[in-house]
Amino acid sequence: MTTTSRAVITEPRQVEMRSVPLPAVGPHEVLVRARKSLLSSGTDRVCFRGDFAPGTHWAQWITYPFTPGYSMVGEVIATGSAVRSLAVGDRVATRAGYQTYAVAEESRSYRIPDEVSDEDAVWFALSAIAQHAVRRGEPGLGDHAAVVGLGPLGQLVARYAAVAGAATVWCVGGDEARLAAARRAGAATVTAAEARDRILGATGGVDVVYDVTGSPSVLAAASEYTAVGGTIVLVGDTPFPAQQVIGGEVLRRSQTVVGVHDSHIQRAERTPVVRWPFRRNVDLFFDLVAQRRLDLAGLVTHRFARGDVAGAFQRLDDDLTPTIGILVDWTG
């Protein structure tokens, strides 16, 4: 295999499949044939639309033509001479783009247990970010938590907050399909317009809020139903950070604001901020899914065949309110 067909965003709102050369498989690498890929309605949408402020890290990172994607599930079809932990035929999850084949490092290719389906396994990368976010919020046993923004990442954060011991997880959103998905996972749900009064009435203020919207206007509103001494975790990475508004309640209630980002968990070793490197997060994710302690049923709402990758990206440019997970199936 010498080439792969890969999705490339040539300019804002334009994507095409290109045939590009595959590098030779190195001693510590594997060749993976894609089975499933998951689009991110946060990162991939910003990349596709080119909708970010100049001078931000988004503008430094995204230059066109741009190759998106970081969530692939596939099958190992060749291994390098020094590979010991993987074999031909293994199913793996790896951080590759939207492409038919990928050469991946052995250390960054994660074997999928037999008990975990492709469609569940493809959530591995977003799941690692969600775990990191929940840990940084430090919800204690019996604490009350809230999640604002119920796209793919927000749905995962809500589920992990419950796994971590939150007594109640309030999910704040505007779309009934997304709210229903959160309720199926045991969350209490409320619209943004009702959030302040209902959450304060029920809890007096939640201990931790996870803002997973990427909207610069949400932080100030969320602080109004966060408890005195509570924590607000910014998970959504706004492409317009200069518009981020803190609001007076953060100061008046002595609240802590914590930022988290995918880049924090990419190292192989522990750091003062990240005690769980990426592989450890992925291992836990697979364990929880295999044990049926993490329910992902219904989170994939849109499926596209390999011949309609452009349609998958167009879905990102449309109204996202009924959308959660967007899946590309490379096997058809």
**288-302, pLDDT tens digit by residue?**
999 999 999 999 999
Same domain? 74 vs 28: yes
Quote the number of domains for the chain: 2
Q: For the segment 119-132, what is each residue's pLDDT rounded down to a tens digit? A: 999 999 999 999 99
Same domain? 144 vs 246: yes
Same domain? 90 vs 157: no
Same domain? 172 vs 244: yes
Q: For the segment 237-250, what is each residue's pLDDT rounded down to a tens digit? A: 999 999 998 989 99
Residue 261's Cβ-count burial label (10 Å; 0-12, 13-18, 19+) is middle
Q: What is the pTM of this model?
A: 0.95
Please check the confidence at residue 264 and state whether its pLDDT lies above 90: no
**Sorting pLDDT into bands at 50, 70 and 90, what band is 271?**
confident
In a domain, 285, yes or no: no
The pLDDT score that the predictor gives to residue 268 is 66
Give CA separation, 118 vs 96, 265, 279, 285, in Å: 15, 23, 18, 13
Residues near 314 by Cβ (< 8 Å), separated by ≥ 6? Answer: none
Token pair of 155, please? 């749905």
Cα 208 from Cα 60, distance rounded (Å): 31
Residues near 301 by Cβ (< 8 Å), separated by ≥ 6? Answer: 177, 322, 323, 324, 325, 326
93: domain CATH number is 3.90.180.10
The pLDDT score that the predictor gives to residue 275 is 81
In a domain, 43, yes or no: yes
In a domain, 84, yes or no: yes
C-beta of residue 329 within 8 angstroms of C-beta of residue 305: yes
239: domain CATH number is 3.40.50.720
Q: DSSP class of residue 53?
A: -
Please check the confidence at residue 139 and state whether its pLDDT lies above 80: yes
Cα 95 from Cα 72, distance rounded (Å): 6
Which of residues 246, 265, 284 is at a domain's end? 265
Helices (H) and strands (E) in the chain, counts: 11, 15
- The separation between CA 160 and the C-alpha centre of its own chain, rounded to angstroms, equals 12
**Sorting pLDDT into bands at 50, 70 and 90, what band is 1?**
confident
The pLDDT score that the predictor gives to residue 162 is 97
Q: What percent of the chain has pLDDT over 90?
A: 90
Bridge-based pairing state of the strands 91-94 and 72-79 = antiparallel
Cα 245 from Cα 68, distance rounded (Å): 29
Higher local confidence (pLDDT), 212 or 275: 212
- Which amino acid, 15? V
Helix/strand/coil for 227: strand
Least confident of 139-148, 188-197, 319-328: 319-328
Q: Which residues pair with residue 94 across a beta bridge?
A: 72, 109
Token pair of 83, please? 């590979």
Q: For the segment 151-170, what is each residue's pLDDT rounded down to a tens digit? A: 999 999 999 999 999 999 99
Long-range Cβ contact pairs of 278-285 (< 8 A, separation 24 or more):
278/108, 278/128, 279/107, 279/110, 281/127, 281/128, 281/131, 281/132, 282/93, 282/110, 282/124, 282/127, 282/128, 283/110, 284/131, 285/123, 285/124, 285/127, 285/128, 285/131
- Rounded mean pLDDT of the chain? 95
Q: What percent of the chain has pLDDT over 70?
A: 99
Q: For the segment 179-206, what is each residue's pLDDT rounded down to a tens digit? A: 999 999 999 999 999 999 999 999 999 9
In a domain, 259, yes or no: yes
Same domain? 235 vs 166: yes
Which of residues 239, 265, 291 is at a domain's end? 265
Selection from 96, 95, 68 nearest residue 8 by Cα: 68
Alpha helices in 143-233 (DSSP H): 152-163, 176-184, 192-203, 218-223
Please check the confidence at residue 65 and state whether its pLDDT lies above 70: yes
Cα 62 from Cα 8, distance rounded (Å): 12
Range of the domain at 41: 3-123+299-329
In a domain, 145, yes or no: yes
The pLDDT score that the predictor gives to residue 170 is 98
Please check the confidence at residue 96 and state whether its pLDDT lies above 70: yes
Selection from 97, 125, 73, 119 nearest residue 17 by Cα: 97
Please check the confidence at residue 277 and state whether its pLDDT lies above 90: no
C-beta of residue 238 within 8 angstroms of C-beta of residue 215: yes
In a domain, 292, yes or no: no
- The separation between CA 318 and the C-alpha centre of its own chain, rounded to angstroms, equals 19
